[in-house]
Amino acid sequence: MQNHPETQSSSSIIDCDRSDIIDADIIVLGSSISGLMAATYLKQKLPELEVIVVGPKPEAEKRAYVGESLTEISIHFFWEIGFKDYLDRTHDLKNGLTFYHKLRIDDPADYRYSVHAPGQSLHFLSRQLNRPIFDRDLRQHAAQSGVKFMIGKAKDFVVGKGGDRHQLSVKTSENKLTHLSSRWIVDASGQKRFIGKKVTTYTCPETGQRSAFWFRLANFEPFLPQLEISQRRPSEYNLWQSTHHFMGHGNWIWCIPLKTIEHDRLISVGISYRPDLYSHSMRSMEDFLAAVDCEHPAVAQMVRSGEVLDTHNYHNYLYSADEIYSETGWFLIGNSARMVDPLYSTGLAMTAIQIQQVTEIIQGKIASNITPQDIANLSFVWRQIAMRRQIDITDQYATMHDPFVAHLRRYWNLNGWWNAILPLWWSGFLTDPRGANILCKLLEGDDRGSKSAAQLFEAVSAKLGNVEQSDFDRTIDFDRLINRRFDRSISTIPLQLARYFQWRLQIRWRLLSLGGWQLLPSQLRSILQEFVRMLLSKYLFGYLNRDALREIKLSLDFDFAGAVRQDKEGYLSHKNEG
Ligand SMILES: Cc1cc2nc3c(=O)[nH]c(=O)nc-3n(C[C@H](O)[C@H](O)[C@H](O)COP(=O)(O)OP(=O)(O)OC[C@H]3O[C@@H](n4cnc5c(N)ncnc54)[C@H](O)[C@@H]3O)c2cc1C
């Protein structure tokens, strides 16, 4: 990893007459999706505070519209801010993530795919965002919630130290320099990192960088009828209504169907790749089609049948901030904090967690009951989870073309998402300082177990050679692995964590029985560790953390969104137990 000190010097005082300054409690810099999410949430949770969003008019910029596929945490976040009915009405249903593993990736004439998706519907169904429409409506919703807007671009910033207020100067749309001051400031300025670059440093990975090329396509013929699909069991829902992923050599392709009234059909299509592993140039539609013809001609055919509306690309875009929250009241969120690989569509979910943490910190500051250590713990937990997921995704590119390894690596990760992260988030461990304090201890050190599991997957794949659907059917049943009802009482956390370790053991066990027990010695240490952790989670975690388990605040209030209607029973019993 490389440290890029991009800190820029800035004057210590913005030169202006004090009477010109507009005072706010919170400034949110950036009016794209992260800024609007943060401002709306903060205003709803802290209605007594004045929240001002600073940014250009949406129509005055070419926004990079990504972040269309919502997952469990991001959809709950939008329900929480009162957007459930709106999302249901206006944006397309998403059943889940669907992965297409080509059985013979090097043969363009072979259209056989093993398709992996939940067989049954998920309990919490999600949505695909048509971003231009969504951004417009979220902005309006923010304004209706009481958020104020200043149209313009920030030009200078002075961090408030020792209790001083932060100062920001903004060139407004009328070309006037205006000065603002605030107690708290949230940097949601995306890749510009307007505040981030002044207050911290950023780290970029030296190897395993990421690039992406994407576009929106209208009036096309879908790829599904072209494929020869095999599945463990047919999905009980319309497979088209999901986020589609095609796996290849050092790359994967996303296809996200979007709701539209302007076109017959609309879809977001993009390719994400590691430039050190994927040698194709990817700067134009011609490049995209030439590359995709080699691996997934059905996708290329779909693209040729439609009309391309716009194209975007990012090169070597990964970075992450070395600090994301400060004692002095600045916070970096969304792309200002880090850039993500969107393999699991969790970018906005991670941003939603940040916004909940920032709100918790501001609430704690107002009530004088949050310590610098609490802030450091919340930040550590978020950064550890974000970093581990990204490092793991980076590693996966080397074997994405191998259907057997790729599906197992994903199941391994999704076990972590469904059986650890989601229940912990739901119960407040990622957003309440008491929960974060407990998680910090669990997240220390690196996850050696995952490394040995990846070695096992590769060894078994090498042994099996060319695989068929029957080989996938003998591994783990994804429908059993996913914890659809992670929205359970905090008292079940020990059991849910034990289940997470139990699945890790089961995956190893199943593979050993497939690949041969001579692989056992290399796995023994991890098996023992996971077995002990399973027992500790089940029998000791609850006892050791009994006080915290009574005090930790759930991450959602659910008073606005109508989600209660979707899950009345579960919600009420959860509340009562709490
Ligand atoms: C290829 C790709 C695909 C993705 N897909 C998904 C997905 O399917 N699901 C998901 O959850 N996440 C996804 N993500 C992640 C998610 O899309 C991003 O996290 C999100 O779009 C970032 O939004 P943002 O508001 O932080 O940044 P941006 O959208 O870049 O917004 C930054 C804003 O700040 C403004 N700004 C900059 N400088 C200034 C200044 N000086 N003054 C005022 N304003 C300023 C800009 O004008 C802009 O409006 C994806 C990411 C990538 C890279």
* Euclidean distance between CA atoms 70 and 346, whole angstroms: 7
- Residue 83, exposed/middle/buried by CB under 10 A (0-12, 13-18, 19+)? buried
CB atoms within 10 A of CB 153: 17
* Euclidean distance between CA atoms 69 and 342, whole angstroms: 9
Q: CB of 194 closer than 6 A to ligand 1?
A: yes
What's the mean pLDDT in 16-31? 86
The residue assigned the tokens 């579960």 is 570
Residue whose CA is closest, atom 14 of ligand 1? Answer: 67
Q: How far is the CA of 159 from the centre of ligand 1 (A)?
A: 23
Query: How do residues 128-144 score in pLDDT, each as one tens digit?
Result: 999 999 999 999 999 99
* Euclidean distance between CA atoms 311 and 474, whole angstroms: 41
Per the CB < 8 A criterion, the answer to whether 196 and 202 are in contact is yes
Q: What percent of the chain has pLDDT over 70?
A: 93
Query: How do residues 154-213 score in pLDDT, each as one tens digit?
Result: 999 999 988 899 999 999 988 999 999 999 999 999 999 999 999 999 999 989 999 999
Q: CB of 394 closer than 6 A to ligand 1?
A: no
Q: CB of 33 closer than 6 A to ligand 1?
A: yes
Name 114's Cβ contacts closer than 8 Å, sequence gap at least 6.
Answer: 100, 101, 103, 230, 231, 403, 407, 467, 469, 472
**pTM of the predicted structure, to 2 decimals:** 0.94
Residue 461 has pLDDT above 90, yes or no: yes
The answer to whether the Cα torsion of 27, 29, 34, 40 is positive or negative is positive
The answer to whether the Cα torsion of 112, 115, 119, 124 is positive or negative is negative
Q: To 5 degrees, how large is the angle CA 90–CA 96–CA 102?
A: 125
Q: How far is the CA of 129 from the centre of ligand 1 (A)?
A: 14
* Euclidean distance between CA atoms 340 and 386, whole angstroms: 9
Q: CB of 54 closer than 6 A to ligand 1?
A: yes
